[in-house]
Structure 1
Amino acid sequence: METRRDLRGILFVLVVFVGLAVIWRDLRYDFNFASDMHKAELGRRRETITQTVTSIALQTQIETQTELTTEIVKLSEDVSPAEKA
């Protein structure tokens, strides 16, 4: 279970860094070389990439929180009534 969580964390960091690298590249290209028409297209691409990275990050966070909640519930069910009192 921890291995999956670790891999998910690594994937999350990787996706965020790749997304930021792509956005940075587009920004550099946008300000240095693009015509007005290209700037509009790059702006749309950048927005799409940002939304995708955010979506993946949120989905990863939701899945991790769900797993942790499930583990907490399982652990609380394992505690005997005598231990709860």
Structure 2
Amino acid sequence: MTTLQWQIRFHLQHPSGPDLAPNTQHHDQYLRHLQSAENAMEAFIQTGSTIDPSKFNQIYNPTDSGKNNIPKRADHDKPNN
């Protein structure tokens, strides 16, 4: 997504000649952007790897975010009796 945004922005800023030929200044900027996006993605994956997998079975409710009483999805789908 970020790469698409970069390319759209680049084409809008250079409507008469959006040249990304290798060994140009713009191509070097694009490669730096790709590396930055890759680094950000890796950092995101690393921080996500520490999440307790059981948290993915819970429904998020911002009013209960500090509590442990967030209902599980299976419990949420059961009718209230």
TM-score, structure 2 length as denominator?
A: 0.45
Q: Say which structure is richer in helix.
A: 1
User: Higher relative contact order at CA 8 Å, sep ≥6: structure 1 or structure 2?
Assistant: 1
Radius of gyration: which is bigger?
2
TM-score, structure 1 length as denominator?
A: 0.43
